[in-house]
Structure 1
């Protein structure tokens, strides 16, 4: 029976080529615009670590007071004093402190080929906490952190550039004039958004590529390396390598901290620890305000810090409005298309067809038109994704990609939109009075 309805739909479309083509084109453009915007929205709001996002937490401590915090929330970064205190307390199963920085690199065997590289100074737990995959070797150990070891982990891209993709574990490279031994090479690790060092890298760059160099936090501090992004409430506290010790004791916020807490009990214990630590700093006279701490998991923290990029939200709003206008027009076209066939409907009803049969016929026709409109919309969506660079910022556009799920969703959306648009025209068609149509025709 359904094959019969499909055959009727194809014959009807062949008789109304112009109207059918117009409906399909409108659907294709409306759905494609919506799906390109959805592809951007999906890319910019994705969870970088879905398997662990509920167990990774960002501790925040207000060390600069109400005059400098964000709507009551502590600043994202920690001071060196607080970061080291949390790290040395070992109150979490795993923990890392880190900051983003820039390095001048010379391969040990090619001293003339210097380059500037982005990277992060991290502690040993960074790699297992964030499930960082390795192509060769591994990260360093807690002992390496303790002894300020000159070791490094490099990205796969940098390994390709320097060593032709070969196993470079044990090789040396010169960073800011010091030789570092490579302990590991990463395997295509580039989380989006770049969540792990937002406090020291800046939210403006949250869709940038991850860095190419990772060295121990302790060694970087010993080398007087500073973060890319620093907030100092007093200008006199700003980075000064001549007075490095005073700078480290200042209230400049520039370090990111993460802890892994696997159970609600661990979360409650660590939150209490943070509160007690802040209360102790108040008692010692360092803080002149009540303890103000936050402990958010990765999902909540990203929502609070990044939200949804305005360009993504705006494009979704505009494309959704455009699709709504398209559907209103499709309703009118489908109504004209169906009501032109009132004599045919009258004859079918007179021969015994029920209203349910009329509903099945015309809704099947709507699904058929929606299917072809969806296929055309999928092609336009692929074209739109390819040309996203002309509509969105480059660091966002390069995240957008088309996959099987996007194509399938495009087709399903077009079919669903067509069926919804056809509901009222179908109802009107099913109300046709067979006696009246036979009489006037």
Structure 2
């Protein structure tokens, strides 16, 4: 019977094609508006790294001025970043499974064969090899640099797939050289497409932007004294001894984000004990003169505190849902008009023995087909809207404007289910026709 009812449904859709098309378009527009808004909001607020969200922690130490509370807030908090000497000390103590300092700079990039005039300003991310394993960074070619490079500050780099395509036409570039400023670096790895959003590990202002195209060892940045104060946020409560970069490294200025990987509560408790003892040791040396406020902050907590995303996106989603509901009400009105024109047909089928259940099944299939086509059209419109959004908001990563397969399936299912729910009332009203009355008018 299902095949028979489906055939009847398509015949009915063709007979009332203009009204059916209007209902499909109304549903499609509502679906597109809702799912476009929801997709962007979902990509901006989802857990960036579900497999590691409980094991990655931002280390916060209260190394700030003895006279002033950090941030001039009523409630004292430890800064979100730390000094170079504290980051180096924590790495040397090696008390966590992974140590991930996050720093950066910018410099002129070119190939050794290119002229200086061809060099382009490029932003560089400095970290350790743990960055790639802990943050589950996929590689297209090669891998991260060896552990010895972190210790010695070897001049090696990992570059992005995008930069590899620009410099080497997408070919395997492992072992090739690039120049940053006056220094040559050897490529050891090329990162494949990497979809971690929001990018929680560094500046909150970059949470929805593309990752850096070049990664170097943190110790390499320190050794070569790469420093870009207009790129890297920093705060100082005490001036460095002189204007040199080395003096800045040794100062109490804070600018290094420092993440660690701790796989369970036992490791977390042990690391907190270590931080307490470390701070006490530094206090004995005249540092850390404020109250001890050691903290291990999760990615979600960090993003929430830094207000990486606002509540405006949630409001937009609710407004889109309201708009979708309005579209469904309009579609329900169109379907009701469509079914009312079938009063004679309903009466005739009832007269020859069709039951109410038979009619409900037939018209539910017809309504479901309207919802399915509307959902597919809405999915297409959603993709167009997301593409246009990616072109309009070029400062955001295009990954935000990408709908996953799961969301695509949800889009179509939402359209079908919503159409069936809102179409139920017109269907019930249509089949309550009195056969005798309608048959007299045929």
Matched with 1:62 is 62
Is the contact between residue 197 and residue 400 of structure 2 (CA under 8 Å) also seen in structure 1? no
d(CA) in 2 for partners of 1:77, 1:169: 33
How far has the Cα of 1:90 moved from its partner?
1.0
1:139 paired to 2:144: yes
How far has the Cα of 1:421 moved from its partner?
0.9
**3-state DSSP of counterpart to 1:242:** coil
TM-score (norm 2): 0.84
1:355 paired to 2:356: yes
Matched with 1:24 is 24
Is the contact between residue 102 and residue 257 of structure 2 (CA under 8 Å) also seen in structure 1? yes
> For residues 231-380 of structure 1, what are the structure 2 equivalents within 5 Å?
231-234=234-237, 237=239, 242-278=243-279, 281=282, 286-305=287-306, 307-308=308-309, 312-380=313-381
How far has the Cα of 1:60 moved from its partner?
1.9
d(CA) in 2 for partners of 1:337, 1:373: 16
**Match among 158, 165, 184 for residue 153 of structure 1:** 158
How far has the Cα of 1:117 moved from its partner?
1.7
The verdict on how the C-alpha distance between 1:413 and 1:351 changes in structure 2, with shifts beyond 3 A counting, is: same
d(CA) in 2 for partners of 1:193, 1:173: 29
The verdict on how the C-alpha distance between 1:226 and 1:14 changes in structure 2, with shifts beyond 3 A counting, is: same
How far has the Cα of 1:144 moved from its partner?
2.9
d(CA) in 1 for partners of 2:142, 2:409: 40
More displaced stretch, 223-232 vs 114-123: 223-232
d(CA) in 2 for partners of 1:161, 1:346: 70
Structure 1, unmatched stretches of 5+, are none
**Match among 187, 192, 197 for residue 191 of structure 2:** 187
The verdict on how the C-alpha distance between 1:160 and 1:123 changes in structure 2, with shifts beyond 3 A counting, is: same
1:229 paired to 2:252: no
Is the contact between residue 156 and residue 188 of structure 1 (CA under 8 Å) also seen in structure 2? yes
Matched with 1:129 is 134
Matched with 2:81 is 77
How far has the Cα of 1:172 moved from its partner?
4.0
How far has the Cα of 1:132 moved from its partner?
3.2
Matched with 2:9 is 9
The verdict on how the C-alpha distance between 1:41 and 1:240 changes in structure 2, with shifts beyond 3 A counting, is: farther
More displaced stretch, 266-275 vs 385-394: 385-394
**Match among 176, 182, 189 for residue 177 of structure 1:** 182
> For residues 379-398 of structure 1, what are the structure 2 equivalents within 5 Å?
379-389=380-390, 392-397=393-398
Is the contact between residue 192 and residue 207 of structure 1 (CA under 8 Å) also seen in structure 2? no
How far has the Cα of 1:288 moved from its partner?
4.7
How far has the Cα of 1:230 moved from its partner?
2.1
1:35 paired to 2:29: no
How far has the Cα of 1:168 moved from its partner?
4.4
How far has the Cα of 1:38 moved from its partner?
3.0
d(CA) in 2 for partners of 1:258, 1:272: 17
d(CA) in 2 for partners of 1:383, 1:208: 21
Matched with 1:99 is 103
TM-score (norm 1): 0.84
d(CA) in 2 for partners of 1:173, 1:378: 43
How far has the Cα of 1:183 moved from its partner?
4.8
How far has the Cα of 1:435 moved from its partner?
5.3
Question: What is the alpha-carbon root mean square deviation over aligned residues?
Answer: 3.3
The verdict on how the C-alpha distance between 1:304 and 1:432 changes in structure 2, with shifts beyond 3 A counting, is: farther
Is the contact between residue 200 and residue 303 of structure 2 (CA under 8 Å) also seen in structure 1? no
d(CA) in 2 for partners of 1:165, 1:358: 60
